[in-house]
Amino acid sequence: MEYTNLILEQNGAIAVLTINRPKALNALNADTITELSTVLDELGRDSSVKVVILTGSGEKAFVAGADISSMKEFNTLEGRRFAQLGHATFRKLELLSQPVIAAINGFALGGGCELAMACDIRLASETAKFGQPEVTLGLTAGFGGTQRLPRLVGTGLASELLFTGDIIDAQEAYRIGLVNHVYSSETLMEEALKLANRIAGRAPKAVQLSKSAIQRGTNMDLDNAQAYEAEVFALTFSTQDQTEGCTAFLERRKPVFEGR
Ligand code: DAK
């Protein structure tokens, strides 16, 4: 399918999805979020895709936020609809069966930081900048920032960022656990592809079930989360890859996983 504001490329088992509105620093308007929702359905159905990398077009921005020009004239109802569209789409991203790596190549502000936080793993370039500057615009974070940021970095640091709207650099984002690694701009995509390929070489169903246990389990109490993990673990015994993985270990050879 053709998209106006997105580029979808496939490199072996890895899909690279690029938000492509560089003139607006890849800001998210409703059309872009709707396209994102559609492409996620497409990716979720495609068993040849084992890992997705999400990035922004150009050298300056991952995503510089929700599109301020489209939000300026919203009434309450339109604001609610926009937030609901964002929430539904970002949750779809978070629950996509395949893992998603955010390759954050510049500004990740407001909705852009929230988009990155809905990914499973965040890698940043040295030039990346993060923040939730909504309060400087008279807004609150509207795409999950008040919920995902505290879960990732703790309520104290999240409150400071959400109350001040301060922008932090990649090293600070690394220090507080918002990103896993920081790379030079030149090597960011190479490193993202390396990590994606490492994950793609593991048993796909086991990776997907691990993602499900993490994403669903962290929002449950421990007893229910453990019960869910037990179900997920049990399910792996219905896969051929489990037999292959354990057999290969015992035969001292590399496993050949087929995603079944
Ligand atoms: N929206 C629309 N256009 C944007 C944009 C944005 N978020 N960010 C940048 N642009 C546009 C600029 O207007 C400019 O367009 P032209 O003037 O060239 O036409 C172009 O991108 C280049 O930007 P600059 O000229 O400003 O570039 P600089 O290098 O000087 O500055 C910057 C880069 C990232 C520091 C600056 O552009 C900036 O501060 N941008 C805004 C960042 C920001 O505040 N982002 C958070 C947006 S608020 C909700 C739902 C969602 C949200 C909230 C509530 N509900 C429904 C309740 C989410 C809110 C946000 O994400």
Interval 160-178 mean pLDDT: 98
Pocket of ligand 1 (CB under 6 A): 24-25, 27, 64-69, 79, 82-83, 86, 107, 109-111, 133-134, 137, 139, 141-143
Nearest CA to ligand 1 atom 42: 64
Quote the pLDDT of residue 158.
98
Q: Which CATH superfamily is domain 6-200 in?
A: 2-enoyl-CoA Hydratase; Chain A, domain 1 (3.90.226.10)
Domain with CATH 3.90.226.10 in the chain: 6-200
Domain with CATH 1.10.12.10 in the chain: 204-250
Spacing, Cα 79 to ligand 1 middle (Å): 17
Q: How far apart are the first and last CA of the chain?
A: 27
Mean pLDDT of all residues belonging to the chain:
97
Quote the pLDDT of residue 1.
82
Interval 177-191 mean pLDDT: 98
pTM over the 0.85 mark: yes
CA 12 – CA 105 distance, rounded (Å): 22
Residue 198: pLDDT over 90: yes
Which CATH fold would you assign to the domain 204-250? Lyase 2-enoyl-coa Hydratase; Chain  A, domain 2 (1.10.12)
